[in-house]
Amino acid sequence: MSKINHIRNIAIIAHVDHGKTTLVDEMLHQSGTFRENEQVDERAMDTNDLEKERGITILAKNTALMVGDHKINILDTPGHADFGGEVERIMTLVDGVILVVDAYEGCMPQTRFVLKKAFEQNLTPIVVVNKIDKPQARPEEVVDEVLDLFIELGAEEHQIDFPVVYASGIQGKASLEPELPNDTIDPLFDVIINEIPAPDHEIEEPLQFQIALLDYNDYLGRIGIGRIFRGNVSVGDRVSLIKKDGSIKSFRISKLFGFKGLQRVEVEHASAGDLVAVAGLDDINVGETVCPEGEEDALPLLRIDEPTLQMTFLVNNSPFAGQEGDHVTSRKIEARLDEQLETDVSLRVEETESPDRWIVSGRGELHLSILIENLRREGFELQVSKPEVIRKEIDGVISEPFESVQIDVPDEHTGAVMEGLGARKGEMIDMIHQENGQVRMHFIVPSRGLVGYRNEFLSQTRGYGMINHTFDCYKPEIKEPIGGRRQGALIAMETGQVTPYSLQQLEDRGTMFVETGTKVYEGMVVGEHTRDNDLSVNVTKEKHVTNIRSATKDQTVTIKKPRILTLEEALQFLDDDEYCEITPESIRLRKEILNTTERERASKRKKLNKS
């Protein structure tokens, strides 16, 4: 085997918001990848609108830059565990990883998650302690934490002796010392070139190219992105695609793309060690191998993370259906879900007996809510049910997913958090008191216990707590109910417009979700009740007008500000008998049975059946 010395393939991994995308920006700028007069957005690798708004990376992306004679291919990975399927596949494309760790926060749950994936592939690590310019930065302690984590995850000896670079991504500086005397990011480039091994591949052998990521283009169809492990490939070559089931399909490579900066560049030829994208076969899937015709030799299939959460997607049938969206029919929704399956390999869509509903399964609440938010921005109207965990039968035992949860809170809130997670069958594994009055707690909690917990957690910690969780394992199912909403709902019993008079009358009944002038319909959830039962209320009631003047002068009506739910908050609030109606303009909660009388009858029947 020969070393391809001019190429370095690396993945950049980190917990959410530890600054890896900003760091990649600086690497692109300082390597001269962009022209001097080129306009480039901040966090240029986050191209999706939702990524820019939320400040998180959702889709794995690759870029390439030249440092002297060396080509560095960088894959920017998602930091959130819901997109772990992307991270796992990327690890097969690279020879090393840059682990970015916040100089104050240190190691977090997703740091552990992505690092474990890197060690499984025996990759060479570089540790970048980022945000070194923070006033409360504690770089030496953070490096010790990283070392402890490496040992805990069973790193090899050569991995434990990792190089450390101290950086400020936002200032574009890096150094081998914590003091940051340097004005450029060059020390990081030097460490990458010197420490990350060059690809070790046979250029003269027959082609072996494996698909790790998918893209889709209206003109080219499916595009497979991956690494050439052996040999060469050119546009026009006839090749074989070895499918997951072992069957073989023949196709011609119609387009071949390399990467330069943020651009996908058409190339005529590529060799072992290169990361490329190929077009020409619609039926291409993640993990499949491309070889020359007659010389088929498959690489091991890539493992794709299974979904752990599912929701029912339905055609919108509320009284306001079709008023705000452009795409409302089952045909349009089904076609859009099928399109999503072209690129999102961790998603599953199952048809049901009804043509107007589908069971959609994903990696977690964030994974599914991102899909729903994209749909509403594209003009779709639909309804979704409460998220439910997916149970599996393992060795004859029904099992459910459990999550590893890390919580950072001020000392005075630990009791409330322990009580809250205890009620959701959480088991505390560890508790560390830190110098600054903060406490770090580690729990193992059933995934369904975390559905809807975030709002309760923010109340318990008065907004000062931080919660991070990642999938841990499947364990035998806990038979009793866990979590769920503690408060009942306030439900509109009339169709019409919300009036200030009615809101004033209902203030002591709970927290309202609607404001004056909002259009509501019978069966729509308009607030959260102070008690644990549902209550039907009239929010369209007008003040009775008489010609008798009041003895006291009319006062200006002051009404509490309503709590307008975001999409995530609405999905977390949902109960078993409720839907979330989603349109480009509105997010509404509603009962499955809208008619007040019918709903109350159904509730009584349910109680009788239980008893």
Residue ranges of the annotated binding site are 17-22, 130-133
Residue with tokens 């490579």: 253
* Alpha-carbon gap, residue 211 to 239, rounded angstroms: 14
Asked if 451 and 572 touch (Cβ cutoff 8 Å), the reply is yes
Task: Give the number of other Cβ atoms within 10 Å of residue 573's Cβ.
Answer: 20
The answer to whether 571 touches 580, Cβ cutoff 8 Å, is: yes
Q: Could you count the other beta carbons within 10 Å of the beta carbon of residue 154?
A: 10
Nearest to 79 by CA among 67, 105, 33: 105
Question: Per residue, what are the HEC states of 172-212?
Answer: CEEECCCCCCCCCCHHHHHHHHHHCCCCEEECCCCCEEEEE
Q: How many beta carbons lie within 10 A of that of residue 160, not counting itself?
A: 11
Between the alpha carbon of residue 185 and those of residues 7, 130, 161, 176, the distances in Å are 19, 12, 22, 11
Round to whole Å and give the CA distance between 491 and 597.
12
Nearest to 110 by CA among 381, 466, 356, 411: 466
Largest CA distance in the chain: 99
Which residues define the annotated binding site for GTP?
A: 17-22, 130-133
Burial of 215 (0-12, 13-18, 19+ CB in 10 A): middle
**Rounded Cα–Cα distance for residues 580 and 490 (Å):** 15
- Listed residue (62, 346, 21) closest to 226, CA to CA: 62
- Residue 395's contacts (CB-CB under 8 Å, 6 or more residues apart) are none
Contact call for residues 352 and 358 (beta carbons, < 8 A): yes
Phi-psi region of 565 (alpha: psi -120 to 50; beta: other; left: phi over 0): beta
